[in-house]
Structure 1
Amino acid sequence: MNDDQQRQIFDWWVKEHRGLLFKIVHAYAFSAHDRDDLFQEIITQVWNSIPRFRGESRVTTWLYRVALNSSLSWTRKERRHRGRTEVLDEHAPVLREPVPPQNRRLEWLHEEIAKMDHVDRSLTLLLLEGCSYREMADILGVSENNIGVKINRLKARLIEKSKETTAHEL
């Protein structure tokens, strides 16, 4: 594969699947700076993975794997690094007026997804993306039955937390 072919594939993948990549970024990075860093890391890994793509799976499956593995690796690296540095986003100008949330329920869902372990977080993102159980099983490397059980438990947990949150807000 030459550079022009790789560039065409890369441009098409990023254009067609940008939303998918941003969902993963939002699930693993919580400040604007971190989201930029993680997106850059994912894009770099997508570029590097193109020559290894053999077409044995769907492009979305491949991109999910690349993005999730990149996110997990980035998260581990950031955790080690954070202990030695100070996060600048926490010291944003105090005079800036806070922006009200656009959709409180969506914000709540993002917060809950962020609290999940990496497997549940990945599974939730795949579910929200509308992937089939087979696709989820292929991406995560578990059985379809396991996917079904995990999804039912995740839904039950989120419903319970939603009820608790609603009760506290009233």
Structure 2
Amino acid sequence: MSEQEQNHTFNEWLVRYKALLFKVVRSYAWTAMDQDDLFQEVIIQIWRSVPGFRGQASPMTWIYRIALNTAIKWVNKERKHTQANQPLDQLPSILSEPDDQPDERLTWLYEEIYKLDEIDRSLCLLLLDGFSYKEMASILGISESHLGVKINRIKSQLVSKSKQQHYHGI
């Protein structure tokens, strides 16, 4: 693959799947600075992976797998350096949210997803994006039956917490 082809594919994927990347990043990194760092890591990994894409999976599945794996590795690496990490909120964020008032239900949902372990977090994102059980199982490397059990458990937890917060519409 030529560098020009790699650039074209990368730019096309970035435009098409920006929202997906934002969801993954926002679910694994909470502060704006951490989101910027993780976003950069994900983008680098996607760039590096373009020549290896063989079309055996859809580009969306491929990018999701890269983003989730990168996010999980990033979280594990960041945990080791938590004491040294100080948020610098005054720096501009690459992933700035619109100036509109954020939906508090969506903010609550992201907070709850953030509290889940890495695999459950990944599972929530895949489920919210409409992946089939088969696709999710393939991406996460678990059986479809185990996946179903995990989904039911997560849904029950979120419904219970939403009732406590009075977010019945979630």
One-letter code of the match for 1:33?
A: M
- Name the counterpart of 1:67: 67
Cα distance between partner residues in 1 of 2:21 and 2:70: 11
- Name the counterpart of 2:44: 44
One-letter code of the match for 1:112?
A: E
Q: Deviations over 1:11-51 (max 9, x none)?
A: 11111111111000000111111111111110000000111
Cα distance between partner residues in 2 of 1:82 and 1:145: 35
Cα distance between partner residues in 2 of 1:31 and 1:109: 16
Structure 1 residues not aligned, in runs of 5+? 91-98
Taking a change above 3 Å as real, the CA distance of residues 126 and 85 of structure 1, as seen in their structure-2 partners, is closer
* Paired residues, number: 159
2:114–2:121 Cα contact (<8 Å) kept? yes
Taking a change above 3 Å as real, the CA distance of residues 105 and 85 of structure 1, as seen in their structure-2 partners, is closer
Percent of residue pairs bearing the same amino acid type: 50
Residue 30 in structure 1 maps to residue 30 in structure 2: yes
Q: Which moved more, 1:49-58 or 1:109-118?
A: 49-58
Taking a change above 3 Å as real, the CA distance of residues 89 and 82 of structure 1, as seen in their structure-2 partners, is farther
1:12-161 superposed matches below 5 A: 12-89=12-89, 102-161=102-161
More helix by share: 1
One-letter code of the match for 2:103?
A: N
Cα distance between partner residues in 1 of 2:124 and 2:51: 29
Structure 2 residues not aligned, in runs of 5+? 91-98
TM-superposed deviation, 1:142: 1.1
Give TM-score, length-normalised by structure 1: 0.87
One-letter code of the match for 1:131?
A: F
Q: Which moved more, 1:116-125 or 1:156-165?
A: 156-165
Report runs of 4+ in structure 1 exceeding 3 Å deviation: none
Cα distance between partner residues in 2 of 1:3 and 1:100: 39
- Name the counterpart of 1:95: none
Cα distance between partner residues in 2 of 1:55 and 1:130: 20
Partner SS, residue 89 of structure 1:
coil
Cα distance between partner residues in 2 of 1:48 and 1:143: 29
2:31–2:87 Cα contact (<8 Å) kept? no
One-letter code of the match for 1:156?
A: S
TM-superposed deviation, 1:147: 1.5
One-letter code of the match for 2:29?
A: A
CA RMSD of aligned residues (A): 1.8
1:101–1:107 Cα contact (<8 Å) kept? no
